[in-house]
């Protein structure tokens, strides 16, 4: 297994731009841990990566935009939900680097009010200068992005397509790097890290952490709380992404897909749909720690953490880090969930 230094040297082979404020803080959640029966609980504040309101996608974008600039791109194209955090962070990165940005966004949920259809991340997308395009209900996002790229190229632009969530090998490497950062911080604070809990959506952050810990030979369990798809769909997706990243990091031989830990018990009716456990978890994190989460990703991830602790799925003898992937702007778009 490569050392942390060797892993960082491998990552250094890829072009990269500096966009994130790093390292992000690793902070104790003493009051929330006590509320959960004495759990040793910490939070990795990737909501504080800085650019455009922060969030986990900035780590991915450092590698993706490194490649984009190396290819001479002048235009970014990406896709996501109507209130996509990834789209907002991509728009911010484009603004920082002087690139044009086109966002192809899926329609808002039918019952959404004005806060969701115009506010939250969408308001920030516009302020950041992105051009917003509405995908048709059944339109395949990658095909739509490829058509737009061809059209823009015919007009003289040099477009670069970023997949949903920035999830691909390059993007996932941003979270292999985060694994090194997190372990370095934990050791500096005398923490023996047992488990990381995070929202598992497009799967790249989850896969990158799994690959990074595996490459370092560290037995840290990464529990993904599925927020978009069933565990039956999510587990092989994350395993495939992690295996590709592990191979790139020089540690493919011993990787086992069974190491991927995913639960869909907190998904509820589907992506972006509220659950009572999510609402409780948001209130608990805010009321005990002043820690603000969002309803789509981190709220459901915290709901999973809280419920797993209460039911014994996470032992109170474990040291757990909750990876806060950001998303606060989206909270304001879902105000109707909190009457």
CATH topology (fold) of 60-166: Rossmann fold (3.40.50)
Q: What is the DSSP letter of 251?
A: -
Is 256 in contact with 210 (CB distance < 8 Å)?
no
User: Does the domain at residues 4-55+168-337 carry the CATH identifier 3.40.50.1100?
Assistant: yes
* Spans of the chain, pLDDT less than 50: none
Give the domain ranges of the chain: 4-55+168-337, 60-166
The pLDDT value recorded for residue 339 is 67
Q: What are phi and psi of 319, to 5 degrees?
A: -105, 120
CA–CA distances in Å: residue 162 to residues 73, 77, 124, 154 = 12, 6, 19, 19
The torsion region of residue 237 among left (phi > 0), alpha (psi -120 to 50) and beta comes to alpha
What is the pLDDT, as a whole number, of residue 1? 57
Distance CA 222, CA 73 (A): 35
Token couple for 294: 């969002």
Q: Can 4-55+168-337 and 60-166 be said to share one CATH topology?
A: yes
Q: Which of 84, 200, 202, 205 is catalytic?
A: 84
Q: What is the structure's pLDDT at 110? A: 63
| CA distances, 196 to each of 92, 186, 321, 322 (Å) | 28, 12, 5, 6
Residues counted in the chain: 339
Q: Is residue 84 flagged as an active site residue? A: yes
Strand order in the sheet with 75-80: 131-134, 100-105, 75-80, 159-162
Which tens digit of pLDDT belongs to each residue from 11-43?
Answer: 999 999 999 999 999 999 999 999 999 999 999
């Amino acid at each position: 297994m490569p050392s942390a230094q060797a892993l960082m040297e491998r990552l250094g082979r890829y072009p990269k731009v500096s966009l994130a404020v790093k390292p992000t803080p690793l902070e104790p959640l003493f009051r929330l841990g006590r509320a959960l029966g004495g759990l040793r609980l910490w939070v990795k504040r990737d909501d504080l990566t800085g650019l455009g309101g922060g969030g986990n996608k900035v780590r991915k974008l450092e590698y993706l935009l490194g490649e984009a600039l190396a290819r001479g791109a002048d235009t970014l194209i990406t896709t996501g939900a109507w209130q996509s955090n990834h789209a907002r962070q991509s728009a911010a990165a484009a603004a920082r680097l002087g690139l044009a940005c086109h966002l192809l966004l899926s329609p808002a949920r039918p019952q959404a009010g004005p806060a969701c259809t115009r506010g939250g991340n969408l308001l920030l997308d516009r302020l950041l200068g992105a051009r917003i395009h509405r995908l048709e209900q059944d339109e395949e996002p990658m095909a739509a992005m490829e058509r737009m790229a061809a059209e823009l190229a015919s007009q003289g632009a040099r477009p670069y397509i970023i997949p949903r969530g920035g999830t691909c090998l390059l993007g996932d490497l941003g979270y292999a790097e985060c694994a090194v950062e997190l372990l370095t911080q934990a050791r500096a604070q005398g923490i023996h890290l047992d488990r990381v809990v995070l929202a598992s959506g497009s799967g790249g952050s989850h896969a990158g952490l799994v690959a990074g810990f595996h490459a370092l030979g560290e037995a840290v369990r990464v529990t993904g709380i599925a927020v978009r798809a069933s565990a039956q769909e999510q587990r092989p997706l994350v395993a495939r992404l992690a295996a590709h990243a592990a191979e790139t990091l020089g540690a493919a031989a011993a990787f086992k897909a069974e190491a991927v830990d995913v639960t869909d018990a907190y998904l509820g009716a589907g992506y972006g749909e509220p659950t009572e456990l999510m609402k409780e978890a948001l209130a608990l994190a805010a009321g005990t720690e002043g820690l603000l989460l969002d309803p789509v990703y981190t709220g459901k991830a915290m709901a999973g953490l809280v419920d797993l602790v209460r039911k014994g799925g996470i032992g109170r003898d474990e040291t757990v880090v909750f990876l806060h992937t950001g998303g606060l702007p989206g909270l304001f778009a879902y105000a109707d969930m909190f009457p």
